[in-house]
Amino acid sequence: MKTNRFFPEINAGMMPKHDRTAWLKGGNAQCLTPPRKPLGNAWHLILLGAPGVGKGTQAELLSERLACCHLSTGDIFRAAKSCIEKDQTPALQNALDYMKRGELVPDGTVLQLVAERPRCLRCSGGFLLDGFPRTIAQAEALEVLLKKENIRLTAVLDYELPLEKIIARISGRRVCPGCKAVFHVATRRPKIEGVCDQCGGELVQREDDRPEAVKVRMHAYEESTRPLIEFYQKQRLLIPVDADGSPEDVYRRTRLRALK
């Protein structure tokens, strides 16, 4: 099948969607449908931004259309949450408690999970890191991992949105625990209220989207993650992107502004 490097969106509908089994499960798990190998250089991107800014949605669009793998640390924890308890290591159970409260999981646990998945960083389709790094210590550890693999970052996209819009997005977000689809009570409504369009599951609010956890997440962002903006600015990798508007608006802006 012929693919188009310059307009990868054209390819998106032609290719089977790649899965992320190796990332979500770790260990020896392998992806059934790995991302296709791009004709030119693969993208190696980091997505930054406060919780609720829409990073996850952009990550989905970008990974589907640019064919790079969406590596989200939050998704590893959510996947672990749906495992039966005996399959969760004590470190993961501990991490899930932090997550429930909206606090950052300790760097050591997060770094161990990422370091256990070097194949995903090497993936020939490239990657898009979402939710990692989240602290300077994580960013420094990532530098070491990437150096070892001889991988250079293409860019760090920093999604920006005023706080009141972020709060509106988070408080209206509903997710399907079954197939992980994401909806919003005002801007991305399911066809039937409270029911997932894709699998018919009952939509719920994420535990860490409840107001008390959101406050903690925002504080953690300001304290630990915002300093990464300067960290990547100094490396001339940072590209700010206005995150206002529909997911398609923001996607187009990302492509025009950053990924030409």
Catalytic positions, written as ranges: 55, 134, 173, 206, 217
User: Quick one: how far is CA 50 from the chain centroid?
Assistant: 12
**Contact call for residue 102 and ligand ADP (CB under 6 A):** yes
Of the ranges 37-45, 81-89, 101-109, 185-193, which one interacts with ligand ADP (CB under 6 A)? 101-109
Report in angstroms the alpha-carbon separations of 206 from 74, 101, 209, 251.
12, 11, 5, 24
Which of 48, 105, 129, 196 touches ligand ADP (CB under 6 A)?
105
**Contact call for residue 225 and ligand ADP (CB under 6 A):** no
- C-alpha closest to that of 50 among 141, 193, 150, 170: 170
Angle of helix 211-220 versus helix 90-101 axis, rounded to 10: 100
Assess contact for 66 and 11: CB atoms under 8 A: no
The 106-135 site mask, x for binding ligand ADP (CB under 6 A), equals ----x--------------------xx-x-
- Residue 88: phi and psi, rounded to 5, are -95, 130
The 58-87 site mask, x for binding ligand ADP (CB under 6 A), equals --------------xxx--x----------
Residue 90 in tokens: 């004590």
Return the residues of window 8-67 that contact ligand ADP according to CB under 6 A: 51, 55
What residues are paired with 240 via a beta bridge?
A: 158
36 or 81: CB nearest ligand ADP: 81
For 110, counting Cβ atoms within 10 Å of its Cβ (0-12 exposed, 13-18 middle, 19+ buried), the class is: buried
State the Cα–Cα distance between residues 219 and 225, nearest whole angstrom.
10
Which of 59, 217, 241, 258 touches ligand ADP (CB under 6 A)?
217
State the Cα–Cα distance between residues 207 and 190, nearest whole angstrom.
20
Return the residues of window 166-185 that contact ligand ADP according to CB under 6 A: none
38 or 74: CB nearest ligand ADP: 74
State the Cα–Cα distance between residues 25 and 82, nearest whole angstrom.
12
Which residue is nearest to ligand ADP, using beta carbons? 74
Closest distance of CB 55 from ligand ADP, Å: 6
**Contact call for residue 243 and ligand ADP (CB under 6 A):** no
Q: Which residues bind ligand ADP (CB under 6 A)?
A: 51, 55, 72-74, 77, 98-99, 102-105, 110, 131-132, 134, 138, 208, 217
